[in-house]
Structure 1
């Protein structure tokens, strides 16, 4: 099974009919969404229940781990211990977990999170703190996938029931990894498409660096090239979830719809669609 979703639901004007109902409009097109707001702050119960109530029963979320859980920030600035931080995060998402609306949690690590014994121990701790919840891991430093370390990394992820994230991104020095088409979970594989804005990825500074990084419109040829990659992942996982993260120029939705057409996919049990924007 192949599913397709986008990062967030607020940046896709092409899908929006009613600005007060952006999530409902989004859920009429795609079966899941990557929830990026949880990276910046652990959501309140009010927000959690609102998102759940606005989406169909089978709609799912891929929440990003809170930034201190992936060492983008110091945990001590937020919680008395790392374990309590994880407990608080899981408790916040418990309604969504119990309802089956979490496809996987996404732990996206920073470029300074290298392949080291210390970081391997931290990943083991994450598995312990997250219990048997589905957890996807995305690295941003090439040390995880050197010729020597790549088989060790993939074996480690598989042995600890982590979902490997295959990514497409520019190959910039210091903050990127190669596309490693590999499965470490028989249940789920993630394929995250960040765009190929080399300059945007190279220059991670300034107030709008995130917007510059994700400003990219995949060409028809590039989208076609993803089809055999996705099919390959489908051979070893029950589900391949493709996530478009090239948001800032408004290209993610149209790129995702075109890929859906290429793969001849129909998503069932979506929210009601008021009109077909993509005929």
Structure 2
């Protein structure tokens, strides 16, 4: 089974019903895609009221891929609002409880930063995180290529398998140590995550600038039809290895994620189940 979706639901105008309220963006989004990546959880552990609201606004079979709070993966640059690592993880676990209870938690994504390289203490940190999140499906995404070096690649995959961690397969620019290669391997028999960041090499290397401006440049990319066909072939290989493939388009700096995801669905032969005729028309050129 293949589930396709986007990062966030608040910045994809093409999927919104023009007659809907601004507060209905998630409702509109969920008529087009069965999964979404929840990014607000990266910036703060979300209160229960937010989680309950998002649960109520989505269909019963809708799922969230939830990005772990930044302090859990070493991204935090300011003060962490928790007294200990244990308290931080416990707060996050409690936050995820309602999603898990409702069957809407696809997985928790632990995305580690570019400076998190393959060494003993970092392996121990991942193992500790997996233990603290026991009972949840956890995906691991690396941003440092040492994890996939000839010396460590097989050990990295074996480590993920041993700890029942979901492999996050990434398509991204090959731009030195702070990027990883495309490694289409599933480490569990039930789930694998694929995240498509685009192939803007110049933007990926540009990590300076004011505020988060560099982030917008980094994900500025429009996949070509040939690139989407290539990705479709790779995803079909993954479908032979595991029960469910979760595919997330993250190339939305210029609004390309939703159109690319729709084009991918068509190339991959997916049926847009449950979509109303008006919604389908947004992508098929109907009036």
Which TM bucket (shorter chain)? over 0.9
Matched, 1:200 2:203: yes
Matched, 1:65 2:71: no
Give the CA deviation at 1:75.
Answer: 9.0
Q: SS at 1:242's partner residue?
A: strand
1:90-133 Cα shifts (integer Å, max 9, x gaps): 10111111111000000111001010110111111011100121
Match of 1:275 in 2: 279
Matched, 1:219 2:227: no
Give the CA deviation at 1:76.
Answer: 6.4
Contact 1:29 / 1:273 at 8 angstroms: preserved in 2?
no
Contact 2:219 / 2:253 at 8 angstroms: preserved in 1?
yes
**C-alpha spacing 1:60/1:88, structure 2 compared with 1 (3 Å):** same
Looking at structure 1, the residues matched to 63 and 174 of structure 2 have their Cα atoms a distance apart, in angstroms, of 31
Matched, 1:250 2:274: no
1:26-81 Cα shifts (integer Å, max 9, x gaps): 00000010001100111111111111111001100001000000000169632111
Q: SS at 2:68's partner residue?
A: coil
Looking at structure 2, the residues matched to 89 and 273 of structure 1 have their Cα atoms a distance apart, in angstroms, of 39
How do 1:129-144 residues align onto structure 2 when only pairs under 5 Å count? 129-144=132-147
1:13-36 Cα shifts (integer Å, max 9, x gaps): 111112331101100000010001
Q: Which runs of 5+ in 1 are unaligned?
A: none
Match of 2:270 in 1: 265
**C-alpha spacing 1:75/1:127, structure 2 compared with 1 (3 Å):** farther
TM-score, scaled relative to structure 2: 0.94
Which of 149, 159, 166 aligns to 2:152? It is 149
Identify the range of structure 1 (59-68 vs 71-80) with the bigger mean alpha-carbon deviation. Answer: 71-80
1:171-221 Cα shifts (integer Å, max 9, x gaps): 112310111111101110111100011111001111201111111110111
TM-score, scaled relative to structure 1: 0.96
Looking at structure 1, the residues matched to 100 and 78 of structure 2 have their Cα atoms a distance apart, in angstroms, of 23
Contact 2:68 / 2:111 at 8 angstroms: preserved in 1?
yes
Match of 1:238 in 2: 243
- Residues matched between the structures, number: 278
Q: Which runs of 5+ in 2 are unaligned?
A: none
Query: More relative contact order in 1 or in 2 (CA 8 Å, sep 6+)?
Result: 1
Q: SS at 1:103's partner residue?
A: strand
How do 1:34-183 residues align onto structure 2 when only pairs under 5 Å count? 34-73=37-76, 77-183=80-186
How do 1:24-35 residues align onto structure 2 when only pairs under 5 Å count? 24-35=27-38
